[in-house]
Amino acid sequence: MADRTMTVTVSRYDPERDSAPYLQPYQVPWSEKTVLLDTLQYIKDNLATDLSFRSSCRMTICGSCGVMVNGEPRLACKTIMGNYQQGMVVEPLAFFPVERDLVVDLSHFMECIEAMKPFIIGNNRVPSDGPNRQTPEQIAKYHKFAMCINCGLCYAACPQFGLNPAFLGPGATALGHRYNLDSRDCGSTQRLATMNTQDGVWACTFVGYCSEVCPKHVDPAAAVQQCKAAGALDFVASVLHCQKKCKEGSHGHAS
């Protein structure tokens, strides 16, 4: 790091010692190439060895280092310090329970991902059938939604998740939608059952901030709206008792 310094204020919280989180300023060096994750590591190495934060890949792949930077959900490894020369306040991801310092409890998010059954369902192909090929068009349908790295930034940006912690949320919905759009999958009925509950996709009011903060441009807001349209059709089908049945053998082959 270079000799220029700036003030970074970090939210600190030790549940065994503190009754509530508090802000602690640190004077840190920075250069044009310094990212927030470097700075947090500098603070841990030199100024506050007990600082807790999550990180792993350092290259926007693992989704571990999500924090609030001046109130905006961001990945620490993708936040360039030079853009915050006037100062920076780093806090844990909003709306999640704080475990310690910048570490939040992501249990609800993980449970939502599990509820979405993010795997191919109902495809009874066997290895002897050969590769389960798809056309570029079939892949393009879901590819954008497959880019999610489960960082949780969209949840920290979602005012509805802030109001209702039971909300299925944008990230898990995008993941479920990714499998619903996959030509090899036949599990949309199971996922739509979860999406069509009061705390499912219908809690969303299309604020759209989740898509703005997504570091992988997944556009979870679009996924939620498309799930609403699919859910509305599913609702009509349930009223008319004509729910679409996935035909055995109708999937899994590139056409």
- Interaction site with another protein (CB under 8 A): 159, 163, 193-194, 196-198, 200, 202, 205, 228, 231-232, 235-236, 238
The residue (of 70 and 164) whose beta carbon lies closer to another protein is: 164
The residue (of 59 and 163) whose beta carbon lies closer to another protein is: 163
Measure the CA–CA gap between 168 and 183, rounded to whole angstroms: 24
Q: Are 121 and 193 in contact (CB under 8 A)?
A: no
Compute the least distance from the CB of residue 211 to another protein, in Å. 19
Describe the crossing of helices 170-180 and 136-143 by its angle, rounded to 10 degrees.
170
Q: Report in angstroms the alpha-carbon separations of 245 from 63, 65, 72, 184, 229.
A: 36, 42, 43, 15, 18
Both structure tokens of 99: 């475990």
The residues near 204 (Cβ < 8 Å, ≥ 6 apart) are 158, 160, 167, 170, 173, 221, 224, 225, 228
The residue (of 126 and 240) whose beta carbon lies closer to another protein is: 240
Both structure tokens of 143: 């590819």
The residue (of 73 and 231) whose beta carbon lies closer to another protein is: 231
Q: Provide the residue type at 167 as one letter.
A: F
Compute the least distance from the CB of residue 176 to another protein, in Å. 14
Compute the least distance from the CB of residue 196 to another protein, in Å. 5
Measure the CA–CA gap between 124 and 184, rounded to whole angstroms: 10
Compute the least distance from the CB of residue 173 to another protein, in Å. 15
The residue (of 28 and 156) whose beta carbon lies closer to another protein is: 156
Measure the CA–CA gap between 196 and 176, rounded to whole angstroms: 12
Compute the least distance from the CB of residue 198 to another protein, in Å. 5
Compute the least distance from the CB of residue 231 to another protein, in Å. 6
Q: Provide the residue type at 155 as one letter.
A: Y
The residue (of 106 and 203) whose beta carbon lies closer to another protein is: 203
The residue (of 27 and 205) whose beta carbon lies closer to another protein is: 205
Measure the CA–CA gap between 191 and 113, rounded to whole angstroms: 11
Cβ neighbours of 12 (radius 10 Å): 18
Q: Are 187 and 120 in contact (CB under 8 A)?
A: yes
Compute the least distance from the CB of residue 172 to another protein, in Å. 15
Q: Are 75 and 151 in contact (CB under 8 A)?
A: yes
